Amino acid sequence: MKKSPVILVVAIGIGAALFFVLGRFVAIPTPIPNTNFSLQYALLGFMAGLFGPIAGLLIAFIGHALIDFSYGWGIWWSWVIASAVAGFIMGLASKKLALSEEPFDGKKIIIFNLFQIVAHLVAWGVVAPVFDILIYAEPANKVFTQGLVAGASNIVTTAVVGTLLCFGYTKARPAEGSLKKED
């Protein structure tokens, strides 16, 4: 089903705000500096799966930029771009998932998780570390370690919480034809 532009803009705004809140106030630090165990990527997987790749890209880009800005260290563009790439890739699954129309069954759980795993591997295993090296001249061993930890934790949270969000959404949706107009 094609979503109206108004719905997409509202979804992007709400998604970016929730991404920010989860990333800023619900993040759990890991032993690796500047790397958190984050729930916002589970939300991103769900929102991108529901609204598509452009929404996923913008939710992550805006939300991550706001998180960085709120900490006061400036915006770390390499990771903001990596988040946007992850959101875009996760959103590519939206047509196959059809969360607004179809049940979230075993096949769709596999599709959702394949896309989110690829998204996190590309974002945190390639994009973030390579851009950290190119933009900020960070040491390779440091940024690839951060990327590995971030990617692994994001894969786990997205697999568990993101899958539950998709499943819960499709279960809470009224069944086709279940609502009848009263005379």
Count of domains observed in the chain: 1
| Structural domain contains residue 178 | no
- Whether residue 183 lies inside any domain: the answer is no
According to the model, what pLDDT value does residue 51 have?
Answer: 97
Residue that wins the pLDDT comparison between 16 and 183: 16
Question: The CATH number of the domain where 29 resides is what?
Answer: 1.10.1760.20
In a domain, 41, yes or no: yes
Residue 51: inside a domain, yes or no?
yes
Residue partners of 29: CB distance under 8 A and separation at least 6:
35, 36, 37
Position 1 scores a pLDDT of: 59
| Residue 177: inside a domain | no
pLDDT tens-digit series, residues 93-141: 999 999 999 999 999 999 999 999 999 999 999 999 999 999 999 999 9
Burial of 39 (0-12, 13-18, 19+ CB in 10 A): buried
What gap in Å lies between CA 153 and CA 137, rounded to an integer? 25
Query: What pLDDT sits at residue 153?
Result: 95
User: Containing domain of residue 162, as a range?
Assistant: 5-172
For residue 117 the two structure tokens come to 């795993």
Q: Where are the alpha helices (DSSP H) in the chain?
A: 5-25, 40-51, 53-71, 77-91, 94-97, 106-122, 128-136, 140-157, 163-172
Q: What is the pLDDT of residues 62-103, one digit of tens each?
A: 999 999 999 988 999 999 999 999 999 999 999 999 999 999
Q: How far apart are the C-alpha atoms of 120 and 94, rounded to whole Å?
A: 16
d(CA 110, CA 61): 26
Res. 179 pLDDT band, cuts 50 70 90:
low
Residue 149, domain member (yes or no): yes
Q: How far apart are CA 145 and CA 123, in angstroms?
A: 13
Would you say residue 114 lies in a domain? Answer: yes
User: Which pLDDT score, from 0 to 100, does residue 177 have?
Assistant: 65
For the chain, state the CA radius of gyration: 17
Measured between alpha carbons, how far is 103 from 90 in angstroms, rounded to an integer?
18
- Residue-level pLDDT at 168: 97
Is residue 123 assigned to a domain? Answer: yes
